[in-house]
Amino acid sequence: MSRSDRRSSSSGSRPRTSSSSPRRATRRPSRPASPKASSLNSSRPPRPLRAAGTSRETKRVGHLSVAGLGLTDQSKSQRALPRPLLWALVALVAVGVIIGGLFALSLTPILPVQQINAEATNHLTQENILKLAAVPDNATLLNVDTAKIEENLAKNPWVKSVHVSRKFPGELTVSVEERQVFAIVTIPSGNSAWYLSEDGAWIEPMPAQALDGGDLVQVALAQAKEDGCLLIRDTPSTVDPKAGAKTTDAPILDCIQYQTTFSQGLASQIVSYSAASEEAISCVLSSGLEISLGAPNQISSKEAVINELMGAHPNQLTYINVRNPAKPSYRQISSSSVGAGTGVVASNDGAAAQGQEAAASGQPAQGQEASGSQSGSEGAQGSEGAGSSQGNGSSESTGGSDSQNPQDQTTS
């Protein structure tokens, strides 16, 4: 058998498979789902989804990331209000209910004011206070306007502050704090004198009959001594007091600043101030010593110099100038027996007594002015002074070289 016959026989014996016949695809059998996973998936409810606003809102579903497909979670939008905000709303509602209830009660005649208590002061009687308070007849403890009562009483210049308190079931108490008199201020332009409070408010003028037929300064000084307050004299012509108004005059305010800044030891000795201008502020002590203070600066340094000089020359000084505390000046009476003045009445004879009377009446003493911090030797005879003296001489110190002039001797 030939080779070609073998091939033909072998090809005819084997069936040829057509290339067009489809192959059978082999698939792996799928695994059955585990009972645990199927139970979890069946018990978990499906998540609600909403349309996404941006592509950033991405949620994972199974193992797939859903981005920009218009599906997002709605569970966060359905959360309850935060607890602090909820409590704030509850408190707001409760306050509104309380205020509404009180307002309703204020419109009804419940708890009427049956008794008003007021304590008299030095210049206001109980009747004055009740009249000024002007509490309405139909007032109750709930609707009484305490601010209006305080406003009514403040119209009186003697009233510094007012406190109104309630006491159930029907009692109202009005307490008044009265202004304290700081000084009596003479007004030469109007030949009058006014009471001035410690907070700088004009209270009222002195009675006109008290000033009739007498020297303005002398009468005002006597009244100030009786009332236990200061005298402020020599005020500028621009001073124009009005009851209840605060003073704006710089020299008067300077006197208040000095008096409130000085220690109690020095302030208690001051009888009067001279307030011609800010640079010319001066005071007179009860001993008759005149002190030139100047503008209200370096007050503590000025007081230290004053105390030092008075301690070095007790009852012998008639004048001290501390406008510049670094270079003080003073005038001294040279005598072995010097008595303190009363601040009001002179008690000694002669020229020295006449000088004491001038100082005691609030007027500056006349004499020779000196500068420095040391005492000089005996000087001019019969020199006028502010203190009472049994001697005749006065001396002065300039802090310069010695001088042979007996009426103007200086020491270093």
Residue 342 pLDDT > 50, yes or no? no
Specify the pLDDT at position 165.
93
Residue 143 pLDDT > 60, yes or no? yes
Q: Provide mean pLDDT across the span 9-23.
A: 49
Q: Token pair of 145, please?
A: 């306007």
Query: For the whole prediction, is pTM greater than 0.85?
Result: no
Q: How large a percentage of the chain has pLDDT more than 70?
A: 59
Mind listing the pLDDT tens digit for each residue in 226-279?
999 999 999 999 999 999 999 999 999 999 999 999 999 999 999 999 999 999
Mind listing the pLDDT tens digit for each residue in 31-89?
655 555 555 455 566 665 555 544 444 444 444 444 444 545 555 555 666 878 878 88
Specify the pLDDT at position 306.
97
Cα distances (angstroms) measured from residue 291 to each of 143, 286, 321? 57, 12, 6
Specify the pLDDT at position 286.
95
Q: How far apart are CA 196 and CA 204, in angstroms?
A: 8
Residue 40 carries which side chain, given as an amino acid letter?
L
Specify the pLDDT at position 398.
45
Q: Token pair of 348, please?
A: 């000694």
Residue 309 pLDDT > 80, yes or no? yes
Q: How large a percentage of the chain has pLDDT more than 90?
A: 45
> 3-state DSSP call for residue 1?
coil
Q: Could you identify the residue written with the tokens 């208690």?
A: 268
Residue 349 pLDDT > 80, yes or no? no
Better pLDDT: 306 or 377: 306
Mind listing the pLDDT tens digit for each residue in 86-115?
788 888 888 887 876 666 555 556 778 899
Q: Could you identify the residue written with the tokens 């202004």?
A: 179
368: confidence class by pLDDT, cuts 50, 70, 90? very low
Residue 25 pLDDT > 70, yes or no? no
364: confidence class by pLDDT, cuts 50, 70, 90? very low
Better pLDDT: 363 or 242: 242
223-252-267 Cα angle (round to 5): 65
Q: How far apart are CA 20 and CA 311, in angstroms?
A: 139
DSSP E strands in 326-370: the ranges are 329-334, 338-339
Specify the pLDDT at position 191.
85
State how beta strands 290-292 and 317-321 pair.
Answer: parallel
Domains of the chain as residue ranges with CATH: 115-178 (3.10.20.310), 181-332 (3.40.50.11690)
Better pLDDT: 190 or 280: 280
179: confidence class by pLDDT, cuts 50, 70, 90? very high
DSSP E strands in 322-401: the ranges are 329-334, 338-339, 388-389, 393-396
The winner for highest mean pLDDT among 205-214, 239-248, 380-389 is 239-248
Specify the pLDDT at position 299.
97
Residue 293 pLDDT > 50, yes or no? yes
DSSP E strands in 35-78: the ranges are 49-50, 58-61, 64-67, 72-73
Cross-sheet strand order for the sheet of 192-197: 202-205, 192-197, 181-187, 230-233, 270-274, 282-285, 290-292, 317-321, 329-334, 393-396
Q: Provide mean pLDDT across the span 11-37.
A: 52
Q: Provide mean pLDDT across the span 347-371.
A: 40
Better pLDDT: 121 or 378: 121
Q: Token pair of 93, please?
A: 């509602």
Specify the pLDDT at position 255.
97
Better pLDDT: 218 or 10: 218
Mind listing the pLDDT tens digit for each residue in 220-236?
999 999 999 999 999 99
Q: How far apart are CA 135 and CA 125, in angstroms?
A: 17
Mean model confidence pLDDT for the chain: 74
Q: Could you identify the residue written with the tokens 């489809």?
A: 22
Specify the pLDDT at position 188.
85
Give the count of alpha carbons within 13 A of 393, CB side only: 15
Better pLDDT: 295 or 404: 295
User: For residues 385 and 365, is the Cβ–Cβ distance under 8 A?
Assistant: yes
For the chain, what is the largest distance between any 2 Cα atoms, rounded to a whole number of angstroms?
A: 187
User: For residues 148 and 91, is the Cβ–Cβ distance under 8 A?
Assistant: no
